[in-house]
Structure 1
Amino acid sequence: MRYDPIDPQLFISNRKRFIEHLPAGALAVFNANDIMPTNADGTLPLVQNRDLFYLSGVDQEETILVLFPDAYNPAHREILFVVETNEHLARWEGAKLTQDQATEQTGIQTVFWLSDFEKIFKDLMSQAKTVFLNSNEHLRASSPVETRDQRFRKWIMEQYPMHHYDRSAPIMHRLRAIKSPIEVEIMRKASAINTKAFNRVLKFLKPGVMEYELEAEFIHEYKRNGSPDFSYTPIIASGASACVLHYIENDKECKDGDLVLFDCGNWYANYASDVTRCFPVNGRFSDRQKQVYNAVLRVMKASMELLRPGNQLHEYHKEVGELMTKELLDLKLIDAIDVKNQDPNWPAYKKYFMHGTSHYIGLDVHDVGLWTEKMEAGNVFTCEPGIYIPEEGIGIRIEDDIVIGEKENINLTAGIPKEVEEIEEMMNS
């Protein structure tokens, strides 16, 4: 484990909050993710099922969590099933969690080996009225691969067709949208590592450097600080490539006079950081670059003021659109006639700012949350306005990670320079 141990009280509290949403007689099951194959005998590193991790803190494959608060046997109200270590596993892959280690890590007192699952589960199902099953219901989810959760769903409905079934996802989206103080502290650590990486790259950038060399500087700083990898495929886009929103080739030379857009994040203890900055290759913004950059920065600062308890995300995005419209009018990229004749479903500003401004962030970069409800203290959002002008070869986006507080917000990534003067001074020092 590359990260510091997490206080198991986080997972104890998360399970307690989840159970409060279950009706009488309900049982819930959460499965670990699969280790995904590549080619031949290759595999990718495990990316744990975030809901299982949220409720248990277990970062190990082939794990099952069962929550059954009304179980007749009090010891069966929280059960964790893990793979039993054997000599072969220990020799080739390293020892898995012992039962005592699993209890220490999760706060779950009842830990069985996975080989006992079907026998014990049969007894639990004889008592349960409803079964809550987990699924990926993220609004952007699209996966052609059958997951362990999906295979389990087929198996349980075939074995126990007369039970009632329900969805855990709506409960998990509600719970995960509000970050506890322990979670915020973990996200601080992720952001602190990302801050080190951005500040390292800021001093490394110069004409002639390749985008992939900059990518290497990020991963070097991540790994040496206990962060295993990028939290998403990094975007390091110089010049006109910054106008391609999901540019991931990172194979161009950084040329004198261009800007480089860095959209880079990292993991720490399964929690994500997600930051975007734009830096001038030669250490100085041109007048036009500065003009556009400061327009984006003004929208960002005003948008962050709108991320407050009681505001609503859809309304917030409309307000940000109005802020951006004013800036684009001042930049003469659109005019009053464009605004007057705009399609309400695709306003004039969308020509140069076509993506959303904020999304939930946490255990996933695009974390689950409640898009139809009002913002609350404990929500964590990105704030990332941008202006993209392909005809000028300028693409600028600035992004920070913001924890909404009762009285004031916390900017987790404020330590990464974003004022023009600050960036130029650091690059030329």
Structure 2
Amino acid sequence: MFILMKSKVLSSIYTLPFLIGMMIFSSFSDGIAQQNWNTSTEKEERPLFTEHFTPQEFAERRNDVYEAIGSDAFAIVQGAPMPMGFQFFRQNNEFYYLSGIESPYAYMILDGKSGSATVYLQDQNERREYGEGKMLSYQDAELVKELSGIDDVKHITELEEDIECLNSGSNYSFVYTHLSPYENLGVTRSIANRTLTDRESDPFDERPGRHQEFINHLEELTGNLEMENLDPITDEMRKIKSPAEIELITISSDLQAEAIMESIRSTEVGIKAYEMEAIARYIYWKNGIEGEGYYALTHIGPDAYMNHYHGSERPGRDGDMILMDYGPVYNYYTSDMARMWPVNGTFNPVQRELYGFYLEWYETILNNIEIGLTPQEIMQNALAEFDSVFAEMEFSKELYRQAAEDFINSYRDRAQNPGMGLGHGVGLAVHDVGDYSTPVEPGMVFVIEPQFRVPEENIYVRLEDMIVVTEEGVEIITDHVPRDIEGIEALMREEGMLQKFDIKLE
């Protein structure tokens, strides 16, 4: 700042107006000197390793693999490739679950004899990192070990030689690897298998695929060993979620719940599926998701009968029902829930009749889920409770009564089949791996989604909720989204996003 000096000469030269002007200029100059193009010159690097799981949790998962494969075996896991085009890299579910490492073209050997893990990484790609940010590479070996708890990090070119060494000795009898195609964002195992089957019908595409090429080459390198499937081992591990996993699943479920409730509020005659999907996407991306667990299933009217139909431009008409099922992926974990509601905001008599019947059965199943019970015991208990209620129900058409009886009888059949579950698991994949026909136990996360149809009128009714089992009991973490008729109609009377921010190109 400008300093006043007690001097006769200065006092004669620096008059009061002059001094005030100098002080103002000095303050202004100081402000300019303190400003930059940005608030900081430091670039923000994305985290190199997940902040949601500790290295110890990944190590415990690998320890479970060592124990399962035994001391005369090793397992090898293949990581995901870099995707083509302008797409973010995302590790496949299997590699991420066992390591947390998010680097393309990575491999990992899990040695059952030594109980140690070695990850093989490519060289640093300086050009890509200059434009896209840093990714862990072989040059970061010590950092990778520190962040992930992996025992050793080697260059990718050492992988074949190491496999041959493991094959040539007498210490190992088995090599384990995932024989099913790997999962990734929006790609479940069943979808991956279906895609491979579809591709086989293309006479101009006879490629076995990257994963199958890996298995074929691994068989050549391990001719002295018996190849075993790693899928059943990691599938069973993934069925039981840790508290950290449940926390991420709960966040994902909360986002889906908010997206569906906001879509219900915004619904009015004339609405289209893509408008509701836009609402959901805004809520999802506003809260930091990485993508969607599956394409949006937003059905209007009879389109719902095709339960995985998508991409419709049919406007919602007065008297139509809407079904929405569309879940995000938050830090690798997804959710899965569905709701139905009337376009005009009020259930008509037929909608009340059929939805009311369905809801009564749906709630009966939910209320009978208990730790320690098998799906068959749960269904048997629900049927015993529901039969007297169903006997008193009235239907406006014999067609509807017969459809309802067929629906309930399908559960009588399932209640006698020990191989049937209540629904499917949810976690890293929307149709998560693992056997859910076993008794309910803490750590399970699954959904129920009974599907009621009246084929003659293309009527389809389905709800879906996320169920988390902990030591404290069974919790429906999407229970705050209304299922009852009164609750849905009340929510529809509230103002929605489309009414608040109706931005359309004319």
Normalising by structure 1, report the TM-score.
0.85
Work out whether 1:398 is the aligned partner of 2:437: no
Counterpart residue number, 2:220: 158
Q: Distance in 2 between matches of 1:299 and 1:4?
A: 41
1:398-427, CA deviations, whole angstroms, 9 ceiling, x for partnerless residues?
110101234421212223222222221121
Counterpart residue number, 1:7: 54
Q: Secondary structure at the match of 2:194?
A: coil
Q: Secondary structure at the match of 1:189?
A: helix
- Name which one, 1 or 2, has greater alpha-carbon Rg: 2
Q: Secondary structure at the match of 2:340?
A: strand
Shift of 1:90: 1.6
1:166-315 aligned within 5 A: 166-313=228-375
Work out whether 1:373 is the aligned partner of 2:415: no
Counterpart residue number, 2:449: 384
Q: Distance in 1 between matches of 2:123 and 2:447?
A: 40
Counterpart residue number, 1:130: 174
Aligned residue-pair number: 415
Q: Distance in 2 between matches of 1:19 and 1:337?
A: 51
Deviates more, 1:91-100 or 1:210-219: 91-100
Counterpart residue number, 1:17: 64
Q: Distance in 2 between matches of 1:425 and 1:271?
A: 31
Q: Describe the shift of the 1:285–1:93 C-alpha distance in structure 2 as closer, same or farther (beyond 3 A).
A: same
1:318-397 aligned within 5 A: 327=390, 330-331=394-395, 332-333=398-399, 358-392=423-457, 394-397=459-462
Counterpart residue number, 2:105: 62
Counterpart residue number, 1:411: 476
Work out whether 1:142 is the aligned partner of 2:194: yes
Deviates more, 1:376-385 or 1:304-313: 304-313
Counterpart residue number, 2:15: none
Shift of 1:383: 1.3
Q: Describe the shift of the 1:133–1:202 C-alpha distance in structure 2 as closer, same or farther (beyond 3 A).
A: same
Identity of aligned pairs, percent?
26
CA RMSD of aligned residues (A): 3.3
Shift of 1:150: 2.2
Deviates more, 1:90-99 or 1:199-208: 90-99
Deviates more, 1:246-255 or 1:139-148: 139-148
Q: Secondary structure at the match of 2:109?
A: strand
Q: Describe the shift of the 1:317–1:161 C-alpha distance in structure 2 as closer, same or farther (beyond 3 A).
A: farther
Q: Distance in 1 between matches of 2:252 and 2:95?
A: 20
1:213-272, CA deviations, whole angstroms, 9 ceiling, x for partnerless residues?
111111121111111222112111111111221111232111122110001111111111
Q: Distance in 2 between matches of 1:175 and 1:259?
A: 39
Q: Distance in 1 between matches of 2:334 and 2:230?
A: 23
1:38-49 aligned within 5 A: 42=85, 46=89, 48-49=91-92
Counterpart residue number, 1:112: 154
Is residue 259–residue 394 contact of structure 1 (8 Å, CA) maintained in 2? no
> Given residue 234 of structure 1, which amino acid in structure 2 is its aligned partner?
A
> Given residue 227 of structure 1, which amino acid in structure 2 is its aligned partner?
I
Is residue 193–residue 227 contact of structure 1 (8 Å, CA) maintained in 2? no
Work out whether 1:426 is the aligned partner of 2:491: yes
Work out whether 1:52 is the aligned partner of 2:52: no
> Given residue 106 of structure 1, which amino acid in structure 2 is its aligned partner?
S
1:170-194, CA deviations, whole angstroms, 9 ceiling, x for partnerless residues?
1112111111111111111111211
Shift of 1:47: 5.2
Q: Distance in 1 between matches of 2:291 and 2:125?
A: 29
Normalising by structure 2, report the TM-score.
0.73
> Given residue 258 of structure 1, which amino acid in structure 2 is its aligned partner?
D
Is residue 261–residue 395 contact of structure 1 (8 Å, CA) maintained in 2? no
Q: Describe the shift of the 1:337–1:363 C-alpha distance in structure 2 as closer, same or farther (beyond 3 A).
A: closer
Is residue 84–residue 96 contact of structure 1 (8 Å, CA) maintained in 2? no
Q: Distance in 2 between matches of 1:51 and 1:237?
A: 32
Q: Distance in 2 between matches of 1:155 and 1:348?
A: 45
Deviates more, 1:232-241 or 1:49-58: 49-58
> Given residue 212 of structure 2, which amino acid in structure 1 is its aligned partner?
Q
Is residue 289–residue 394 contact of structure 1 (8 Å, CA) maintained in 2? no
Q: Secondary structure at the match of 1:359?
A: strand
Is residue 58–residue 105 contact of structure 1 (8 Å, CA) maintained in 2? no
Q: Describe the shift of the 1:119–1:89 C-alpha distance in structure 2 as closer, same or farther (beyond 3 A).
A: farther
Q: Distance in 1 between matches of 2:209 and 2:147?
A: 25
Counterpart residue number, 2:26: none
Deviates more, 1:121-130 or 1:188-197: 121-130
Which structure has greater helix proportion? Answer: 2
Is residue 338–residue 464 contact of structure 2 (8 Å, CA) maintained in 1? yes
> Given residue 120 of structure 2, which amino acid in structure 1 is its aligned partner?
F
Q: Describe the shift of the 1:338–1:387 C-alpha distance in structure 2 as closer, same or farther (beyond 3 A).
A: closer
Shift of 1:289: 1.2
Any unmatched runs of 5+ in structure 1?
Answer: 350-354
> Given residue 26 of structure 1, which amino acid in structure 2 is its aligned partner?
A
Q: Distance in 1 between matches of 2:298 and 2:423?
A: 20
Is residue 211–residue 250 contact of structure 1 (8 Å, CA) maintained in 2? yes
Shift of 1:116: 2.9
> Given residue 50 of structure 1, which amino acid in structure 2 is its aligned partner?
N
Structure with more contact order per residue of length (Cα contacts < 8 Å, sep ≥ 6):
1
Counterpart residue number, 2:3: none
Is residue 34–residue 61 contact of structure 1 (8 Å, CA) maintained in 2? yes
Any unmatched runs of 5+ in structure 2?
Answer: 1-45, 182-188, 200-207, 415-419, 495-506
Deviates more, 1:285-294 or 1:234-243: 285-294
Shift of 1:339: 6.2
Q: Distance in 1 between matches of 2:364 and 2:449?
A: 11
1:60-106, CA deviations, whole angstroms, 9 ceiling, x for partnerless residues?
321112110323xx8xx211122222222323554321334533542
Q: Secondary structure at the match of 1:20?
A: helix
Deviates more, 1:96-105 or 1:235-244: 96-105
